[in-house]
């Protein structure tokens, strides 16, 4: 491994040159020199790639900063794996950009913390910043999904992709880029540079803009997923040029006679459409003619646009359905009749994956309905849009943090045999936090607590995209409620953290039962309101304790009007953690802190009527602290 440091005009002279520095009168204090890592050049690095950083440094004083040291340190979990130092001099009032490189180990699927620190001639801390980095040959193990939804002629594609790269987004869902659901690319499209089309609402879609996004994203190590529903057609799909019924009429879904949610053909009205394509009609996913048509349309996309895969969508489960003749939708693998769309997913996804060849497939069983079918399919990435009124297979509503966590855990477990490494697939969660907010900005406590719950459980989020916007409703072009600067900074720290600690969050960890006590503070193992949620997991090397702070707030993720209170800041938490394992070290890391570097904790061992325990102090808990404990090798 090596470090290359290039600082334009820095004037660094090594001690070999015989230079002696005299520190200016008066010591520099924290804040006199600022250091900010602007970002890495990629969201994901293949093994063998070089990591490149851009940073900025400023001396805000009227004194020259001499005999300073700029040190790069790289950590994998608690282990420092690399360090290198260079001298640095800054004139008074000087601002400068830094370009740095680091060659990671060849190990695949690893997360890292990269730290830059400036110290003075007496090794006193002056400034520091950290960032995460992911070295993975494929995005599907640690998906970090984002989105774009604007395709105007003068779109600032490179700038938007650069903003998304700072959040380490490694895959992009291109929402509503297509002309029509049943025909994403117009038949007349031939790939010309100036060509484009209108979507159902009349928005002009510029093909060059899509190409610009894709090109910029690939340079950043991101993959590009073309959004489309798995079973939808619009009005013009059902009549031919002469006005006669088209073949697609025979592919439609119909409400079963005993389905109280509707009657006749299953359809939605999207809104006014200048082309008359404002209605969605839904096809039987198991109809072979529909599959043949749709898979051909999806593959045609790849002939003209350099997408990497298909992001398949649904509208959730609407009860018992029939085909156009009143028959079941098909039969399952055991030959039993299938009446519910949610029971078609595994067969459809496997057929789609076969048709797509080497292209990626991700899929959204809305509301978690039919998620067990997706979990046991060949889909590369699992993804679900949750709504608080939907229920899991035991009838428990998806309205709390623990309900989301439980489904993430079950997805990981059910998908193990179908995952790339046998450790399971990390569920991407879409949950619209401030759904009815119409003014102001996104409410940070609600956003950060939901993220903490999802990531601690081993999942991921789709919430950021289109530059640095955040979704709050299901129609992406309406994402008009911004993040304020403070939340943007928190989300950058969150992105760094979950990238750096991906190997503790979603790399084969499983839930374990451990008793946790915090002196003078209520603790819940189930994520109840007004308590610290002590969420415990383990893998072969570590036991993991997530402390998620719900003291002074509630445990529901949906914060429709943006009124959720921030949890009470807790300081000096005295924790007892009961475990039969022999623990050799405890480390603490948190996305709430400016630095992502782990801190070693002093701990004591003891035993009482409840068993053997470790006792230690957690300095503070704002939203989420991650504690990981090294198990003694056996």
Asked if residue 10 has pLDDT above 60, the reply is no
Asked if residue 333 has pLDDT above 80, the reply is yes
Name every residue whose Cβ is closer than 8 Å to that of residue 592 and which is 6 or more positions away in sequence. Answer: 493, 620, 622, 623, 624, 625
Name the helix (H) or strand (E) containing 227.
strand 223-229
Asked if residue 26 has pLDDT above 70, the reply is no
Lowest mean pLDDT among 12-21, 191-200, 335-344: 12-21
Asked if residue 241 has pLDDT above 90, the reply is no
- Residue 286 buriedness (CB in 10 A; 0-12 / 13-18 / 19+): buried
Asked if residue 311 has pLDDT above 90, the reply is yes
pLDDT of residue 329: 98
Lowest mean pLDDT among 2-16, 20-34, 386-400, 553-567: 2-16
User: Rounded to 5 degrees, what are φ and ψ at 625?
Assistant: -115, 135
The helix/strand/coil state of 162 is helix
Q: What is the pLDDT of residues 208-238, one digit of tens each?
A: 999 999 999 999 999 999 999 999 999 999 9
Beta-bridge partner residues of 627: 545, 588
Calpha distance 320→261 (Å, rounded):
9
Calpha distance 343→349 (Å, rounded):
11
Answer yes or no: are the C-beta atoms of 604 and 595 closer than 8 Å. Answer: no
- Binning pLDDT at 50, 70 and 90, where does residue 194 land? low
The helix/strand/coil state of 313 is strand
Pairing assessment for the beta strands 570-578 and 516-518 based on DSSP bridges: antiparallel
CA dihedral 350, 351, 356, 361 (to 10 degrees): -40
Distance of CA 242 to the CA centre of its chain: 47
Share of the chain above pLDDT 90, in %: 91
Asked if residue 98 has pLDDT above 70, the reply is yes
Q: Which domains does the chain possess?
A: 3-135 (2.60.40.10), 510-631 (2.60.40.1180)
140 phi-psi bin (left φ>0, alpha ψ -120 to 50, beta other): alpha
Asked if residue 309 has pLDDT above 60, the reply is yes
Per-state percent for the chain, helix, strand, coil, to nearest 5:
20, 35, 45
Query: What pTM, to 2 d.p., does this model score?
Result: 0.94
Work out the mean pLDDT of the chain and round it to a whole number: 94
Beta-bridge partner residues of 5: 100
Question: What is the average per-residue pLDDT within 255-262?
Answer: 97
| Complete DSSP assignment for 344-407 | SHHHHHHHHHHHHTTSEEEE--GGGTTHHHHHTSS-SEEEEE--TT-B-TTS-BS-BHHHHHHH
């Amino acid at each position: 491994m090596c470090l290359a440091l290039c600082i334009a005009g820095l004037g660094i002279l090594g001690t070999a040159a015989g230079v002696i520095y005299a520190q200016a009168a008066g010591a520099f204090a924290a804040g006199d020199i600022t250091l900010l890592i602007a970002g890495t050049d990629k969201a994901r690095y293949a093994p063998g790639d070089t990591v490149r950083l851009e940073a900025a440094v400023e001396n805000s004083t009227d004194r020259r900063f001499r005999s300073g040291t700029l040190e790069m340190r790289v950590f994998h979990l608690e282990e420092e794996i690399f360090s290198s130092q260079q001298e640095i001099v800054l004139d008074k009032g000087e601002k400068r950009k830094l370009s740095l490189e680091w060659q990671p180990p060849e190990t695949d699927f690893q997360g890292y913390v990269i730290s830059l620190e400036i110290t003075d001639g007496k090794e006193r801390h002056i400034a520091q910043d950290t960032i995460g980095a992911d070295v993975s040959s494929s995005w599907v193990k640690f998906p970090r999904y984002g989105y774009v939804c604007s395709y105007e002629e003068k779109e600032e594609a490179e700038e938007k992709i650069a903003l998304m790269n700072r959040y380490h987004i490694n895959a992009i869902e291109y929402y509503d880029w297509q002309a029509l659901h049943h025909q994403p690319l117009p038949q007349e499209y031939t790939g010309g540079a100036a060509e484009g089309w209108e979507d159902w609402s009349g928005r002009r879609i510029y093909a060059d803009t899509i190409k610009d996004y894709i090109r910029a994203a690939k340079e950043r190590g991101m993959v590009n997923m073309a959004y489309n529903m798995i079973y939808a057609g619009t009005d013009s799909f059902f009549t031919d040029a002469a006005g006669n019924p088209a073949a697609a009429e025979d592919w439609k879904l119909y409400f079963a006679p005993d389905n109280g949610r509707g009657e006749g053909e299953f359809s939605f009205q999207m809104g006014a459409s200048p082309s008359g394509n404002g209605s969605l009609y839904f096809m039987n996913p198991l109809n072979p003619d529909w599959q043949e048509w749709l898979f051909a349309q999806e593959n045609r996309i790849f002939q003209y646009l350099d997408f990497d895969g298909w992001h398949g969508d649904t509208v959730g489960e609407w009860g018992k359905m029939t085909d156009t003749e009143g028959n079941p939708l098909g039969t399952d693998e055991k030959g039993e009749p299938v009446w519910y769309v949610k029971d078609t997913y595994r067969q459809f996804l496997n057929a789609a994956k076969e048709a797509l060849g080497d292209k990626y497939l991700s899929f959204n069983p809305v509301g978690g309905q039919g998620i067990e079918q997706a979990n046991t399919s060949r889909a590369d990435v699992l993804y679900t849009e949750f709504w608080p009124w939907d229920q899991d297979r035991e009838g428990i509503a998806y309205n709390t943090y623990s309900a989301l966590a439980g489904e993430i855990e079950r997805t990981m477990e059910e998908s193990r045999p179908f995952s790339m490494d046998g450790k399971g697939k990390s569920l991407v969660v879409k949950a619209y936090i401030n759904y009815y907010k119409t003014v102001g900005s996104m409410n940070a406590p609600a956003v950060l607590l939901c993220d903490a719950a999802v990531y601690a459980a081993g999942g991921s989020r789709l919430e950021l995209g289109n530059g640095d916007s955040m979704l709050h409703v299901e129609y992406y072009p309406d994402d008009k409620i911004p993040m304020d600067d403070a939340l943007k900074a928190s989300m950058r720290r969150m992105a760094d953290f979950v990238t750096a600690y991906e190997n503790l969050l979603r790399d084969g960890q499983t839930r374990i039962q451990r008793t946790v006590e915090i002196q003078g503070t209520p603790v819940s193992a189930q994520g109840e309101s007004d308590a610290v949620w002590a969420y415990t997991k383990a893998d072969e090397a570590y036991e993991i304790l997530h402390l998620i702070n719900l003291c002074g707030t509630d445990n529901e993720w949906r914060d429709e009007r943006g009124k959720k209170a921030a949890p009470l800041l807790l300081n000096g938490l005295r924790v007892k953690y009961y475990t039969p394992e022999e623990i050799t070290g405890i480390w603490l890391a948190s996305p709430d802190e400016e630095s992502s570097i782990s801190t070693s904790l002093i701990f004591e061992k003891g035993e009482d009527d409840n068993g053997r325990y470790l006792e230690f102090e957690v300095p503070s808990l704002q939203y989420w602290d991650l504690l990981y404990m090294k198990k003694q090798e056996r």
